[in-house]
Amino acid sequence: MVLPPGMDQADFNKAAEAFRRIVGDQWVFLGDQLTGYEDPFPVTSKESSRASIAVAPENVEQVQAVLKAANEFKFPLWPISTGRNIVFGGASPAMTGTGILDLKRMNRILEVNEENGYALVEPGVSYFDLYNHLQENNINLWIDSPSPGWGSPMGNTLERGMGYTPYGDHLMMQCGMEVVLPDGDVVRTGMGGVPDSKMWQLFKYGFGPYVDGMFTQASYGVVTKMGVWLMPKPPGYRPYMVTFEREDDLEQIIDIIRPLRLSTLIPNAAVLCNNLLDLAITTTRDEIYTGKGPIPPSVHKKINAEHKLGMWNFFGGLYGPPDMMEVQWKYIRDAFSQVKGAKFYGADDRKGDPAFEYRAQAMQGIPHLTEFSVLNWYGPGGGHIDLTLLSPVTGKDAVTQYQMQREYGEKVGYDYLGEFIVGWRDMHHINFMIFNHTDEEDRKRVYDLYERLTIDSGKLGYAAYRAHTKFQNLVRDQFAYNDYAMNRLQMKLKETLDPNGIMAPGKAGLWPEQYKQFGKGRIS
Ligand code: ADP
């Protein structure tokens, strides 16, 4: 049992009682009932991010009332939607003792508009829920799901997550929010500010300062409704894979991808991944190599041949009428053919290949849980924390990041399993840092590696787009321009909107005055 820092048991009990009166006894959780809110892959220890209580309101009015009580008792609360943000801390808070504001009961799909291609959802709606709803009602719209797909459009969009279809940038495809501010006021953003607006889910920007982004990766409010644009089901879909033989092909591949993506000949958030990430879907490291140190090139060669893989493997999708896809394919194929040894595959060529099949699903927005298989790479106890650096879509940057991450990892005994997800003008370089989360030594090793990579990449101008709760201060500290001017601005907003510091202390490394001892890092 933990308490919020600085709070005594008597005040805690009073607050818990107030929460019970609002949401009902059965929707306030304590003690053993809180195990579901623990970080499944802790990098320090489970104790370091334990919640004191969880409160699950049923509707907006209850959220307002819970926040009112939280202000009264100065009780810190961490909002979650489905709490599946597992690589980044799961449902657990950044600060031990924070309560969880669990929004799972608010799980209505309020509207799906097929004509205009959008849905309006509450926090507890998962990708599977939305996908099933569209299927069951024969609605010709696709969702865009991250990997794995058990989380929510709300939580993932608020974390600025990615999927793999042409609608892969989730925040770009978000339109209109309803937010309960820390003082209980309810705001509808964008055109939602107009009573009975006909445009809330159709036009993002509204009038005056555009505020939606302020509620993402933030602690400025609880988002209770969100508009999500959905892609009309295209008349045709063709997933494809291109394999590249040599590790050194990376620079050329990325420089080929850039103009194709900028011109939208590659229309989706396509992925370039290394061979080990693909292999880890079906294989464990021991099945490939039991020696010490990095897997030797001869072994890579052998397993790549066996699995029809390259050192790098590109997965893309074509969408549209068949004749249009055929023309696009010609340009894409010609471009990648410049890389010596490039091989091309369609769905028929990769039948029965789980690594291809789950990517093909992801690129048409079918949620799946396949990617969990990679956790078995080193054996039982596998977890991962992803290093999520952003990279320009240029070969040189990709090579710099890749080499650094591979070398640093190998030095301390880890393989590089990674992918570049190609956005509009950036790549999300995801390094799946797999480790044994049940082993204290391994946790320390991966923690140190993440820290060193973040700091040294920062010196080269690279930073992460998202981070585990235990690394929020570290990543915040990379944004140091003009003596941390951005942090000062974010803190001014924080102090104005949340003067009692009740909302998600530590999110994005923003710490209210009373908890500022936890903001340890370069700027506190
Ligand atoms: P998912 O289950 O969809 O992967 P989570 O529910 O774990 O996502 O949410 C991810 C993070 O986003 C949370 O830790 C929290 O910081 C933030 N968040 C989630 N839902 C809300 C919300 N409704 N309002 C404000 N912030 C939220």
Q: What is the pLDDT of residues 471-500, one digit of tens each?
A: 999 999 999 999 999 999 999 999 999 999
Q: How many CA atoms lie within 13 A of 363 on its CB side?
A: 27
Q: What is the pLDDT of residues 144-196, one digit of tens each?
A: 999 888 899 999 999 999 999 999 999 999 999 999 999 999 999 999 999 99
Residue 339 has a pLDDT of: 98
**Cβ neighbours for 205, distance < 8 A, ≥ 6 positions apart:** 190
Q: How far is the CA of 27 from the centre of ligand 1 (A)?
A: 19
Q: How far is the CA of 220 from the centre of ligand 1 (A)?
A: 13
Q: What is the pLDDT of residues 92-143, one digit of tens each?
A: 999 999 999 999 999 999 999 999 999 999 999 999 999 999 999 999 999 9
Q: What is the pLDDT of residues 212-236, one digit of tens each?
A: 999 999 999 999 999 999 999 999 9
Contact 476, 463 (CB under 8 A): no
Q: What is the mean pLDDT of the chain?
A: 96
Q: Which residues line ligand 1 (CB under 6 A)?
A: 79-85, 91, 103, 123, 151-152, 154-156, 158-159, 222-223, 504, 507
Which is it for strands 99-102 and 174-180: parallel, antiparallel or unpaired?
Answer: unpaired
* pLDDT over 70 percentage in the chain: 100
Q: Which atom of ligand 1 is nearest to the CA of 123?
A: 23
Residue 320 has a pLDDT of: 97
Residue 372 has a pLDDT of: 86
Residue 232 has a pLDDT of: 98
Q: What angle do CA 187, 191, 195 make, to 5 degrees?
A: 70
pTM assigned to the model: 0.97
For 391-395, what is the mean pLDDT? 98
Question: Which residue did the predictor score with more confidence, 72 or 49?
Answer: 72
Q: How far is the CA of 30 from the centre of ligand 1 (A)?
A: 20
Residue 346 has a pLDDT of: 98
Residue 524 has a pLDDT of: 57
Residue 62 has a pLDDT of: 98
Q: What is the pLDDT of residues 319-376, one digit of tens each?
A: 999 999 999 999 999 999 999 999 999 999 999 999 999 999 999 999 988 888 899 9
d(CA 460, CA 401): 9
